[in-house]
Amino acid sequence: MEIPKDKIGLKGRVKWESPSNIALVKYWGKFGRQYPRNSSISFTLSEAKSITELAYEILPEAQKEYQLSFEFEGKENVPFRNKIVKFLDSVEDLYPYFRQIQFHLKSKNTFPHSTGIASSASAMSALALCLLDMEKEIFNKSNLDINAASLLSRLGSGSASRSVFPTMGLWGKHAEINSSSNDFAIGYENQIHDIFKDFHDDILIVSKEEKSVSSTAGHALMDGNPYAEQRYLTAQNNILRIIDALKTGDLDVFIEIVEQEALTLHALMMCSKPSFILLKPNTLRMIELIQAFRKEHKIPVCFTLDAGPNIHLLYPHKYLKEVSIFVKEALKPLTKDGNSVLFDSVGLGPNKLEF
């Protein structure tokens, strides 16, 4: 695609907010051009978002170096800028005309840095949406193609592919799921029971330390992991089981799969070479408390984990009152400084913002 001559000098601005997501069946292991070894499915979050603004200008000709400035939370951020340049470079075959654009990007998150929230999912999806909205304006397209946005997000960060959809996203080819794809995620909001549509996710921050393994390094370690092949088979099976539970509202099966997936993710890290233990003593303590509370009160609350020590506490809205008391009295004291809980819930996906 070439930029039409009459667009040279064109200036514009677009702004998007896009959420993070939390995987229920995890993506861990990849191949080729950021393709997943198994399918994954996630809740799109509501509160944890990136807000990204892109001001652009079409230059007379393509530039050798990408023309880009990047501000994060009000300050110029060179490491993040360099990451974006690397990303633009990696998609040059798909979007060669990006070299003919002067980009000014500003981004911020609605959640604190290094809290175990997948900021790459919200950041990369917000960026992809800005870029494709700009494309729509430059090439006079009538719609922003959501599959293309998911694909471009995926090339930035695999899990970001799922963030562009409201409520839930499913990513990764599955032989038994029509329209599933390795290239982009698909929206999964219409196939689920109402109980999941306003599920809560209380994020209990155990530690704010930087992760000792990046997700890129973590995915790569799966290549030498002796349990990898079995893991991918189990994940494909868990996807089928969880989509059935999501449809019928079977919380027992949902809880069983979600907790097993979280623990399997960490078990895989522990048995890779080198080994990583990202769980902290208070993570384990909270897991015990959550499972005991569920058993004692017969309240369907469960946990999941990302590649870090922080707990995501998942539960249906109708138990908000009981669970809030449990969080306040039993779990919050075990978080960082006894006061580190972020309250989130299933959300409606990205939004275009006005200036």
Residue 146 C-beta: closest distance to ligand PMV, Å: 18
**Which of these segments, 21-29, 242-250, 319-327, 340-348, binds ligand PMV (CB under 6 A)?**
21-29
Binding-site member from 3, 14, 23, 255 for ligand PMV (CB under 6 A)? 23
Q: For residues 182 and 176, is the Cβ–Cβ distance under 8 A?
A: no
Q: Please tell me the count of residues contacting ligand PMV according to CB under 6 A.
A: 14
Closest contact distance (angstroms) between CB of 10 and ligand PMV is 33
Region of 24-32, 89-97, 240-248, 292-300 interacting with ligand PMV (CB under 6 A) = 24-32
Q: Which stretch binds ligand PMV (CB under 6 A): 64-72, 151-159, 182-190, 271-279?
A: 151-159
Q: State the DSSP H helix or E strand holding residue 103, giving kind and residue range, or none if neither.
A: strand 101-109
166 contacts 189 by C-beta, under 8 angstroms = yes
Among 38, 39, 40, 115, binds ligand PMV (CB under 6 A): 40
Residue 189, both tokens: 């909001």
> Per-residue x/- mask for ligand PMV, residues 305 to 344, rule CB under 6 A?
-xx-------------------------------------
Q: How far apart are CA 290 and CA 293, in angstroms?
A: 5
On whether the CB atoms of residues 108 and 72 are closer than 8 A, the answer is: yes
In 6-77, where does DSSP find H-type helix? none
Contact between 20 and ligand PMV by CB under 6 A: the answer reads no
Angstrom distance (rounded) from CA 143 to CA 338: 47
Residue placing its CB nearer to ligand PMV in the complex, 15 or 26: 26
Residues in contact with 242: Cβ distance below 8 Å, sequence separation at least 6, in sequence order: 24, 25, 41, 253, 254, 257, 258
Asked if 120 interacts with ligand PMV (CB under 6 A), we say yes
- What part of residues 258-297 is at the interface with ligand PMV (CB under 6 A)? 265
**Residue 94 CB, nearest distance to ligand PMV (Å)?**
19
Q: Is the peptide bond before 316 cis (omega within 30 degrees of 0)?
A: no
Q: In residues, how long is the chain? A: 355
Could you tell me the smallest distance in angstroms from the CB atom of residue 257 to ligand PMV?
A: 14
Say whether residue 149 binds ligand PMV (CB under 6 A).
no
Residue 135 or 344: which CB sits closer to ligand PMV? Answer: 344
* 27 forms part of the interface with ligand PMV (CB under 6 A): yes
| Burial category of 64 from C-beta neighbours within 10 Å (exposed 0-12, middle 13-18, buried 19 and up) | exposed
Query: CA quadruple 302, 307, 311, 315: dihedral positive or negative?
Result: negative
* Closer residue to ligand PMV, CB minimum distance, 44 or 100: 44
Residue closer to ligand PMV (CB basis): 216 or 230: 216
User: Are the C-beta atoms of 124 and 10 separated by less than 8 Å?
Assistant: no
Question: Would you give the distance in Å from CA 64 to the centre of its chain?
Answer: 32
Q: Which is nearer to ligand PMV, 158 or 187 (CB)?
A: 158
Task: Specify the amino acid at residue 277.
Answer: I
Torsion of CA 156, 218, 347, 254, to 10 degrees: 140
User: Per the structure block, which two tokens stand in for 78?
Assistant: 């060179």
Which residues, 196 to 215, sit near ligand PMV by CB under 6 A? 215
3-class SS shares of the chain: helix, strand, coil, % to 5: 40, 25, 35
| Residue choice 19, 29, 116, 158 for contact with ligand PMV (CB under 6 A) | 158
Question: Which residues share a beta bridge with 16?
Answer: 52, 352
Binding mask 79-118 for ligand PMV (x = CB under 6 A): ---------------------------------------x
Which of 52, 100, 119, 159: binder of ligand PMV (CB under 6 A)? 159
The residue ranges that bind ligand PMV (CB under 6 A) are 23, 26-28, 40, 118, 120, 157-159, 215, 265, 306-307
